Structure 1
Amino acid sequence: MIKYRKQIVISLFVIVIVWYLLDKLSNGFVLDYIANNFTNVYEYTDAQGILHQVSKPDWENIKFYTLILTALLTAGCVYLIKYNADKKSKSDKADLIHQLEMELTAFRDGKEYLQMSEELAPIDSLLMQIRNKEDKQIQTIEKQTQQKNDLISYLAHDMKTPLASVIGYLSLLHDVKDIPKEQNDAYIQIALDKANRLESLIDEFFDITRFNLHDIVISRGKIQMRFLFEQLREQFYPIMLKQHKEIILDMPEDLVYYGDGDKLARAFNNILKNAISYSYEETKIFIECHQDEHTLTLYFHNQGDEIPKQKLDMIFEKFYRLDKARSTNSGGAGLGLAIAKEIVEAHDGTIRAESSMKETVFIVTLPMKI
């Protein structure tokens, strides 16, 4: 109410001026009217017989007109206060809208903007969060794009080496007719190994060029888990034999899971490929399974170098490779575990890794859905 004191005083002053002007314009009629209506004249004769006239206030009329005047003054003050408040509110609202438009325009154009007023503080905070999130996403995309481009260049370069070996040894076998059988077999084996390596590099190249983390569509069906892992074990048998390794399965024969068999096979294939690549020669890879009413948990154990704790989450990122030296013989594109993670999460599951000097374990947890 204090901040409207000036408006009230002005209102009263205006009312007095209006009354004064009305009196002047009416040649004193207003004041005469007030005098006639607010006083009563009484006559009486004293003891000497003299007639006297006495004016006394007409309190009933005074009360009545005071009440009306108070009501009019109050209504006028309230109207003036409300009018000024509405005018200021509209002005403030227009200023806020203008400020918000300027800030949103600056935000859209990626320009710096001034701190917003207190009323717009929540919006300012939200815009800052959006911008920070957007900046992080841009940085992540730029980083992944650079990694992708580097890996494509590396793989393109690496393809030349096995391809040159294949061409060289096949040309030698074609041109030289009297090569001893033992040497002939050795050349064929070398060419075959290099061709297999070239195929692996081409697969990785295709993974890089076509892989984007879009939503994966899951087509669920019954999967005989033991049979699926038996197939994977057979698939890796030549590599395991050469490196004197072995895959040991510890899971029930009749274990059934309801999921996308093709995609889960790819995820488990990538996990196994990683375990084989980073495990010591002449060691065993154990795959065990625990099932309860709600979850199916798979453990992939392998013996190899310990993965530092700060890198246990990073190994599931796209294009991240633990071996920064990028071995030509075993280096991958860094997509295998990222693809496995996407497939597992598309089944509403989780994947994580634990590592120590003794062993590294990949743990896949899948919900049991029917």
Structure 2
Amino acid sequence: MKINKTKSNQKILTRFYWRTLAILAMAVVIIIVLRTVLRGKMANLMVTFMSKVLGIDWEAGKHIYWERIEGHLDLIILIAVILVFLILFRISLVMFNRYFTELERGIAQLAQETEEPIELRSGLEQMEETLNDVRLKLIENREKIHEAEHRRNDLVLYLAHDIKTPLTSVVGYLNLLDESRDMPSQQKDKYVTIAREKAERLGELINEFFDITRYTYQAEQLYLQEVNLAFMLMQVSDEMYPQLTKRKKTLTIAVPDDIYLKMDPEKMARVFQNIIKNAIAYGKEGCEIKIWSEEQDEDIVIHLQNKADIPPGKAEKLFEKFYRLDGARSTETGGAGLGLAIAKDIVVLHNGEIHATSDSENIEFIIRLPRNL
């Protein structure tokens, strides 16, 4: 928000300047009018005043007038003009002080963080607009702070909930092993394996929470490089191969070898990993995950599609923090519901866009990235 202080102040100063000139002109006019009206009567009025009010003899009064007043009439007129000007200027200052009173009232209303519009008297329209702009900005900032506080509270709540399940399992199996020292080795190996898997899942959840906190509340820095898109996707595919094989799914990449993008390769690889993990977790058993690209103006649009039962209107909700399709926070199918939220934050950091669409059979993630940041 940009406040035009110069324009606001200039308007008030201009008004004050012209009012002062008007007062000076009025003082001069008043003296001229009085001198015109009293022309030829000034001497008699002055002598009468000295005789009746001051008790001076009439002849003595005439002598004083002609000796002391008539010869300095111009100076007396100037003094009269100054006196009248000062009186009128004082009255003007009282009126002008109302502007500052209005501003003080407006600032006080602003300090109270009221949602009611600030209204000032005529002549202060620019100041009124400025104060209302500040008021709206303060309201907006207050709502952002409240929203951020709400998100932090949610973060703590979900962190406690999602960590509790695997942690309870780890502690439970370790207690069993500790209490049953003579447990058969085969059963012991089974419990150790389960405890290790739960601990690994716990580590993954904690990493997700650290990541979403970093991308949400900190200014994350990008380390940009010229990256071959097809080569990076092949690397991601190789890393995801064990999970794909376990769920009997395949990944097909149809991206030209000559597409290079300016990006942070580590963070952007995380985007595709999270989307593919989502496809593995929620895609239909044995389905094919397809990745292809197209050029649109100065952007590269990347499509990731797989078969999945996504309820109508739920696709875009996948990018909300802690959202899980199955609605169960203890399921083994996914993480804390942060993977796609992290992916969106990373894409936005690259000045890109990401959204999802779904129909009765397929879900498609569409990522638009600029060639150069």
Note the 1:160-179 alignment, pairs <5 A.
Answer: 160-164=167-171, 167=174, 175-177=182-184, 179=186
Q: Structure 1's 170 and 207: CA in aligned 2 closer, same or farther, altered over 3 A?
A: farther
Could you give the per-residue CA deviations for residues 225-284 of structure 1, whole angstroms, max 9, x where no partner exists?
222222222222222222222222111234322221111112222222233333222222
Give the conservation status (yes or no) of the 8 Å contact 1:306–1:357: yes
The equivalent residue for 1:299 is 303
Q: Structure 1's 188 and 104: CA in aligned 2 closer, same or farther, altered over 3 A?
A: same
Q: Structure 1's 188 and 250: CA in aligned 2 closer, same or farther, altered over 3 A?
A: farther
The equivalent residue for 1:96 is 99
- Check if 1:152 corresponds to 2:159: yes
- Check if 1:258 corresponds to 2:262: yes
The equivalent residue for 2:272 is 268
Q: 1:332 aligned to 291, 313, 335, which one?
A: 335
Q: Which has the larger radius of gyration?
A: 1
Which amino acid counterpart does residue 95 of structure 1 have in structure 2?
R
TM-score (norm 2): 0.69
The equivalent residue for 1:61 is none
Which deviates further from its counterpart, 347-356 or 155-164? 155-164
The equivalent residue for 2:13 is none
Q: Secondary structure at the match of 1:236?
A: helix
Note the 1:194-213 alignment, pairs <5 A.
Answer: 194-207=198-211, 210-213=214-217
The equivalent residue for 1:279 is 283
The equivalent residue for 1:358 is 361
Could you give the per-residue CA deviations for residues 96-151 of structure 1, whole angstroms, max 9, x where no partner exists?
33332343344345367784214243134313321331232133113202211211
CA distance in 2, matches of 1:171, 1:348: 53
CA distance in 2, matches of 1:281, 1:93: 80
Q: Secondary structure at the match of 1:218?
A: coil
Q: Structure 1's 83 and 169: CA in aligned 2 closer, same or farther, altered over 3 A?
A: same
Q: Structure 1's 308 and 147: CA in aligned 2 closer, same or farther, altered over 3 A?
A: farther
TM-score (norm 1): 0.69
Q: 1:142 aligned to 118, 140, 149, which one?
A: 149
Q: 2:130 aligned to 123, 127, 133, which one?
A: 123
CA distance in 1, matches of 2:190, 2:289: 30
Could you give the per-residue CA deviations for residues 139-172 of structure 1, whole angstroms, max 9, x where no partner exists?
3113202211211211231232441465368669
Tell me the matched-pair count.
321
CA distance in 2, matches of 1:136, 1:92: 39
Q: Secondary structure at the match of 1:127?
A: helix
CA distance in 2, matches of 1:210, 1:25: 89
The equivalent residue for 2:350 is 347
Give the conservation status (yes or no) of the 8 Å contact 1:107–1:113: no
Q: Secondary structure at the match of 2:291?
A: strand
CA distance in 2, matches of 1:271, 1:82: 79
Which amino acid counterpart does residue 96 of structure 1 have in structure 2?
Y
CA distance in 1, matches of 2:315, 2:95: 54
Give the conservation status (yes or no) of the 8 Å contact 2:173–2:191: no
Percent of aligned positions that are identical = 29
Shift of 1:350: 1.4
Q: 1:224 aligned to 195, 203, 228, which one?
A: 228
Could you give the per-residue CA deviations for residues 278-322 of structure 1, whole angstroms, max 9, x where no partner exists?
32222222111113562111111122233543x555543444445
CA distance in 1, matches of 2:347, 2:43: 90
CA distance in 2, matches of 1:83, 1:369: 70
Give the conservation status (yes or no) of the 8 Å contact 1:173–1:184: no
Gaps of 5+ in 1: 30-71
Gaps of 5+ in 2: 1-22, 48-58, 63-76
Which amino acid counterpart does residue 149 of structure 2 have in structure 1?
E
Shift of 1:365: 0.8
Q: Secondary structure at the match of 2:308?
A: coil
Q: 1:23 aligned to 38, 44, 65, which one?
A: 44
Q: Secondary structure at the match of 2:158?
A: helix
Which amino acid counterpart does residue 347 of structure 1 have in structure 2?
H
Which amino acid counterpart does residue 358 of structure 2 have in structure 1?
S
CA distance in 1, matches of 2:206, 2:305: 28
The equivalent residue for 1:39 is none
CA distance in 1, matches of 2:182, 2:232: 45
Q: Secondary structure at the match of 1:291?
A: strand
Which deviates further from its counterpart, 93-102 or 234-243? 93-102
Which deviates further from its counterpart, 291-300 or 319-328? 319-328
Two-structure CA RMSD over aligned residues (Å): 4.3
Give the conservation status (yes or no) of the 8 Å contact 1:170–1:191: no
Could you give the per-residue CA deviations for residues 28-57 of structure 1, whole angstroms, max 9, x where no partner exists?
99xxxxxxxxxxxxxxxxxxxxxxxxxxxx
Give the conservation status (yes or no) of the 8 Å contact 1:293–1:368: no
Q: Structure 1's 299 and 166: CA in aligned 2 closer, same or farther, altered over 3 A?
A: farther
Q: Secondary structure at the match of 2:369?
A: strand
